[in-house]
Amino acid sequence: MNNVLGFDEDELRRLAGSRSFERGLAYVSSVSAMEIGQRSITAIVDGTDAYEVELTEQANGLTGRCTCPYGQEGNFCKHCVAVALTVLQQADSVPRHRAAATSRGRQLTAWLESRSRDELLSLVKEHIDGNRDLRHRLELRAATAGDDFGAVREHILGLLDTRPFARYGYVEYADAHAYGLQAAEAVVALRTLTETGRATEAVEVARDAIEALARTYGGIDDSDGVVGSVATELAAAHLEACRTARPDPVRTADWLVDHLLGDLGEVTGVLLPDYADALGAAGLAQAHERAAAALRDNPKGWAERYLMEQLMRAEGSVDALIALHAADLAPSGARHLLIAQDLERAGRPAEALEWAERGLREADPEHGPDSRLPDFVCERYTRAGRGADVVPIRRTALLHRRTLAAYRDLRTTARAVGCWNETERTRALETLRADARPRKSLGPTGSALVDALLDDGDHDAAWEAAAAGYADSSQWLTLADLTRDDRPADALDVYLRLIGPLLTRTGDTTYEHLTELLLSARACHRALGTEDAFTTYMTTLRTVQKRKRKLTIRLDQHGL
């Protein structure tokens, strides 16, 4: 590791993976506006868009956040790699930047502490006038501290109003994060009410808030789950208030049942058993009566059945719960699995395994059981030292679901009992081959066969399968990236084939992908000693593509 920083290039490659690390190398020149703080580093990376990156050094290692789509999924992306590499290049200056950041923080704290009450008040008012979100948050906290319940309720529900963020009646992805931050203030206010002895009020407002958010949630592009997290926290705040205030149990049970049986229940993730203490015997009895009536009226209803299952678990009625499941066993074995899980939770493991094994036997022979059922049985067999009995189950699972995951499960199990040999592997690979159709073009869909060969590290066999038509463009690219050093000519051929269709398209995403492929192609030419051929290729490409100004700028940025 770097003496100044808690990471080095090897750590970055581990965090990002080889492919993202290699792509990050090409973006170092696109890093700008970098700020090095005490424990974090922020910067802008020019990609398809101007992406904001934040790196944080924590006790358990380096973490990275990026506003690009891949980064927003929680991955340490190529843009994070580019910023980290830039920091490594400037490692000697990092202590100076951190010392300066510490000094600025102390200076700001000292300055604030030296201001009078009137000066601080004037400063806060100045920022309130220019920041609507800050004003709303402070107004809410002021109202929460007062005695006007109507004002508190109005402020909390106002925070959940989507209209200021909605374009054409819909909160788009770009606005969902800002809305989520504002809505989160409602959670803070509800918890403040509970903590300051106003839990009864918090119960009432929380119900209104949950229903308000659930009604509008369908009109929000919550791809990142920010607003969904707020909904979950609202439900948690309601539960906390109920446990403190102990509201009328029958009325609370009615609200919970109505919520869970309505169209809004899935948004918050409310679980009725969590309310068992607040409901008491009277509330649980009311909920059970309502749920039973609903299930009688709609025996096939998913919400009705799930609510009854929750209640039976809360009441500890294991045998009644098993009878409920057993009355409508699914051909996938999914209900067999539910029975097995409930029996195991009740401390009846032998019965649990019997039901799971029965599920395997009774599952639809054409489509096979729910994939979780073999996992359940195999895990129990493994614990009992019955590893040899696991292998046949994994073989059957692969026949039903010819995926990389199923192949890995069989490989891991067979290795553990010493029977993963060439015969076993060949049979498994042929199972995957039989599920795929070779084709001449790159095609939109790849095959688990190529994925399995790549996962085995058998690159030569992966090349043969790809050449026989079993790979899609993504798998071809992965194969080229993995073997570029050993087979630069073959990899170059792949990159050029992938580049061709992109030359007829436009758009920032296309230009970014095209640039990455060209960088890879250049690396192959360098390995082959044919850099002059690449220079000629790029001259021709630039001439043909000269009208695409954004592409030209991107090529210039990367020295292409």
Question: What DSSP designation does 472 have?
Answer: -
Distances (CA, A) of 164 to 133, 138, 227: 11, 18, 15
Question: Which letter, b or e, does each residue of 447-462 get, where b requires 16 or more Cβ atoms within 10 Å of its Cβ?
Answer: bbbbbbbbeeeeeebb
99-149 residue pLDDT tens: 888 888 889 889 888 989 988 888 888 888 777 767 766 766 666 666 677
What tens digit of pLDDT does each residue of 309-352 get? 888 888 888 899 899 889 888 889 999 999 999 999 989 999 99
Q: How confident is the model at residue 390 (pLDDT cuts 50, 70, 90)?
A: very high
78/17 Cα distance (integer angstroms): 9
pLDDT in tens, 23-55: 888 888 889 989 988 888 999 998 777 899 999
CB distance 407 to 398 below 8 Å: yes
Q: How far is CA 343 from CA 206, 318, 319, 375, in A?
A: 36, 7, 9, 16
The pTM (predicted TM-score) of the whole model is 0.64
Average pLDDT over residues 164-188: 87
- Place 57 in a pLDDT band, splitting at 50, 70 and 90: confident
Query: How many CA atoms are closer than 13 Å to the CA of 89, on its beta-carbon side?
Result: 11
Strand, coil or helix: what is 175?
A: helix
pLDDT tens digit sequence for 486-530? 999 999 999 999 999 999 998 888 998 999 999 999 999 999 999
Res 456: pLDDT: 94
Q: What is the residue-averaged pLDDT of the chain? A: 88
**Residue found under tokens 């999924």:** 73
Nearest of 106, 101, 49, 37 to residue 77 by alpha carbon: 49
pLDDT band of residue 264 (cuts 50, 70, 90) is low
Nearest to 182 by CA among 203, 208, 202, 209: 209
Q: Report the alpha-carbon distance of residue 494 to residue 524 in Å, rounded.
A: 11
Residue 442 is predicted with a pLDDT of 47
d(CA 351, CA 319): 12
Contact between residue 460 and residue 468 where contact means Cβ atoms under 8 Å apart: no
Alpha carbon distance 490, 480 (integer Å): 7
Q: Distance (Å, rounded) from C-alpha 81 to C-alpha 51?
A: 13
Label residue 166 by pLDDT band (50, 70, 90).
confident
Quick check: 557 and 29 in contact, CB under 8 A? yes
Q: What is the model's pLDDT at position 275?
A: 92
CA distances from 55 to 6, 43, 86, 91, 283 (A): 12, 9, 12, 15, 49
**Mean pLDDT value across residues 527-542:** 95
From CA 265, how far away is CA 246, in angstroms rounded?
22
Residue 444 has pLDDT above 60, yes or no: no
Residue written as token pair 């994060």? 177
Angle ∠(146,149,152) on CA atoms, nearest 5: 75
- What's the pLDDT at 226? 86
pLDDT bracket for residue 544 (50, 70, 90): very high
Instruction: Please check whether residue 380 is in contact with residue 356, taking contact to mean a CB–CB distance below 8 angstroms.
Output: yes
Residue type, 28: V
In this predicted structure, what is the pLDDT of residue 101? 84
> Which distant-in-sequence residues (6+ apart) come within 8 Å of 450 by Cβ?
462, 465, 466, 470, 471, 475, 479
Q: What is the pLDDT of residues 242-262, one digit of tens each?
A: 999 999 999 999 999 998 888
Query: How much is the pLDDT for 315?
Result: 81
pLDDT-above-70 percentage for the chain: 95
